Amino acid sequence: MMAIAAGWILILLLAGGFALDRTLTRLVEENFDNQLNYMLTAMIASAEVDDNGDVYFNRPLGDQRFLEPNSGLYWQISGKGHDDWPSRSLWDRSLKLRTDHLDDKTHIYNSNQFADEPLRIAERSVYLPGSKTKWWFVVASSREEVDLQIRRIRSILAWSFAVLGLGLFAMAFVQNWIGLGPLRRVRAAIQDLRTTGANRINEPLPLEVQPLVDEVNALLAHSQLQAEEARTHAGNLAHALKTPLTVLTNAATAQAPDLADTVIRESRTMKRHVDHHLARARAVGRRAVGHAHTSVCESARAVRRAVERLYPDTRFDIAGSDTARVSIERQDLDELLGNLIENAAKYGGGSVFVTIDAEAGSKNCVIWVEDDGHGIPETERERIFDRGARLDTGKPGTGLGLAIVRDVIEIYGGSVSLGESEDLGGLLVKLILPRSD
């Protein structure tokens, strides 16, 4: 920011200084030229031709410098066939003129015909009354004075713009330093978080950075929540594995005769717990990657093709929206629908209905999975989501399907509930998933 400010200040000051230098220089030169033109006009107005055809002044010129040798102000009158008539100030010198053209108007130009004295010359050619000779009237002045004025102007401009540039740069520095002060305070507050162990920034800060502070606090809260979830699930997994490990240790210590069966049974129990927590961990990891955009219809059809191989006698119907998309990773949606559709086929009576976007117009996507089985009593519908909970122990299973469904769907901000199907009479599972924009 300071480099950009310095660059723009330099560019603008150079451009402004150049423009101002050109303007002031032109004004000084125009004023100098106007004085020369005034003197030239006074010469022509005072000039007459005598009886011999020579030019003379009917009244003396007013500037005393014309009478002082080498004064820096000169005049000269030249005409073809006549000797040059110079001012006394020229002394033994004369002005070299080009008389091969006609200047009806005053012609002003620079000349270096005097080696030690650059000149500014104003000339004009006229025909005086009573004379057929073309006379050249010339006024010349040393450029020393005007050049000195221009040098003074440029010196003043250089110092003024240098001071102005330094002042502007200092003001820009102060402005940036003050303007970025809140960010330094945010940085200091974040450093304090590491040293004090605080979980949010509570220092009052200006409104300009308050949205940043709010986002940092939200990020800290999110990280704290994830850490709490990680600790909770690590503790749950340790607690779940503790009992089977104790049983195995006691059986091995006592050299129980059914040790092999005990090892197999408890190993399966531990595997169920590990599978459950791994599924949840995968869902958390994929959620952290970013918002997904998954087609519900494609996922449901893929799950139906897989479940149809296991239950070829079951009829599967998928209805509803073909364009509904949800903010869930495809693998996690497949796992959710796979558990629900497989359970419906396993415990139902041969018919499974899946309705996508069952409540059209809602800000969320609602999915119904229904079967024609015996359903679940209302008193058991909450307990069935617990890990390992099963109502029908006559069929194979781990009792983790609905527990995984609930945990994964809550990770993505959705919900799941159980009810009774009005059409089929069996279980109705209602999924509410965040709709993808």
Q: How is the chain split into domains, by residue range? A: 2-149, 210-286, 291-434
d(CA 414, CA 328): 10
Judged against a pLDDT cut of 70, whether residue 420 lies above it is answered with: yes
pLDDT in tens, 68-108: 998 889 999 988 888 888 999 988 888 888 766 677 788 88
- Give the start-end residues of each E strand in 265-347: 294-295, 315-320, 325-326
d(CA 303, CA 18) in angstroms, rounded, equals 77
Lowest mean pLDDT among 23-32, 151-160, 235-244, 360-369: 235-244
Indicate if the pLDDT at residue 397 is higher than 50: no
3-class secondary structure, 349: coil
- For tokens 């069966």, what's the residue? 261
**Cα 341 to Cα 343: distance, rounded to the nearest angstrom:** 5
Statement: residue 269 has pLDDT above 80: no
In angstroms, the CA 88 to CA 68 distance is 7
- Rounded Cα–Cα distance for residues 374 and 110 (Å): 114
pLDDT of residue 258: 81
Contact 314, 352 (CB under 8 A): yes
Whole-number pLDDT of residue 186: 84
Mean pLDDT to the nearest integer, 182-196:
82
Helix (H, G, I), strand (E, B) or coil at 290: coil
CATH architecture, range 291-434:
2-Layer Sandwich (3.30)
Question: What element of type H or E holds 224?
Answer: helix 210-253
For the ranges 17-31, 47-61, 360-374, 392-406, the one whose mean pLDDT is highest: 17-31
Quote the distance between the C-alpha of residue 108 and its chain's center: 57
Helical ranges in 133-209 per DSSP H: 144-179, 181-196
DSSP assigned state of 421: -
Least confident range from 228-242, 343-357, 409-423: namely: 228-242
Phi, psi (degrees; rounded to nearest 5) at 12: -65, -40
Q: How far is CA 415 from the centre of its chain?
A: 38
Query: Whose structure tokens read 């893929």?
Result: 302
Longest C-alpha distance within the chain, in Å?
160
DSSP secondary structure code for residue 20 in this structure: H
Per-residue pLDDT at 398:
40
| pLDDT of the residue at 367 | 92
pLDDT in tens, 44-73: 889 988 888 888 888 888 888 888 998 889
pLDDT of amino acid 395:
45
Q: Are 208 and 182 in contact (CB under 8 A)?
A: yes
Cβ 88 vs Cβ 66: under 8 Å: yes
- What's the mean pLDDT in 355-369? 86
What would the pLDDT profile of 276-316 be if each residue is shown by its tens digit? 667 666 666 555 544 678 899 999 999 999 889 888 889 99
pLDDT tens-place string over residues 155-168: 999 999 999 999 99
User: Which residue, 414, 402, 421, is CA-closest to 336?
Assistant: 402
User: At the top level of CATH, which class does the domain 2-149 belong to?
Assistant: alpha beta
What residues are paired with 137 via a beta bridge? 77, 124
User: Is residue 131 within 8 Å of 49, Cβ to Cβ?
Assistant: yes
Residues in the chain, overall count: 437
274: helix, strand or coil: helix
Q: Is the pLDDT at 391 greater than 60, yes or no?
A: no
DSSP H or E segment with residue 371: strand 364-371
22 versus 98: which is more confidently predicted?
A: 22
Q: Which of 49-53, 69-73, 210-214, 227-231 has the highest mean pLDDT?
A: 69-73
Residue 98 and residue 70 in contact, taking contact as beta carbons nearer than 8 Å? no
Return the H-helix or E-strand segment holding 55.
strand 55-57
pLDDT score, position 99: 65
Q: Are 108 and 121 in contact (CB under 8 A)?
A: yes
Which string of DSSP letters, residue by residue, matches 83-149?
EEEE-GGGTT-------SS--SS-EEEEE--STT--EEEEEEEEE-TT--SEEEEEEEEESHHHHHH
What is the enclosing helix (H) or strand (E) of 392? Answer: none
DSSP for residue 32: H
| pLDDT, mean of residues 263-276 | 76
Helix crossing, 330-347 with 259-289: angle to 10°?
140
For the chain, the average pLDDT equals 83
**CA nearest neighbour of 140 among 110, 106, 101, 102:** 110
- Which has the minimum average pLDDT: 133-137, 230-234, 345-349, 390-394? 390-394
**Percent of the chain whose predicted confidence (pLDDT) is above 90:** 26
Copy the structure tokens of residue 8: 């723009």
Q: What is the pLDDT of residue 286?
A: 56
Exposed, middle or buried, 436 (CB in 10 Å: 0-12/13-18/19+)?
Answer: middle
Lowest average pLDDT, out of 240-244, 260-264, 275-279, 423-427, goes to: 275-279
* Model confidence, pTM: 0.48
Cβ(341)–Cβ(304) under 8 Å?
yes
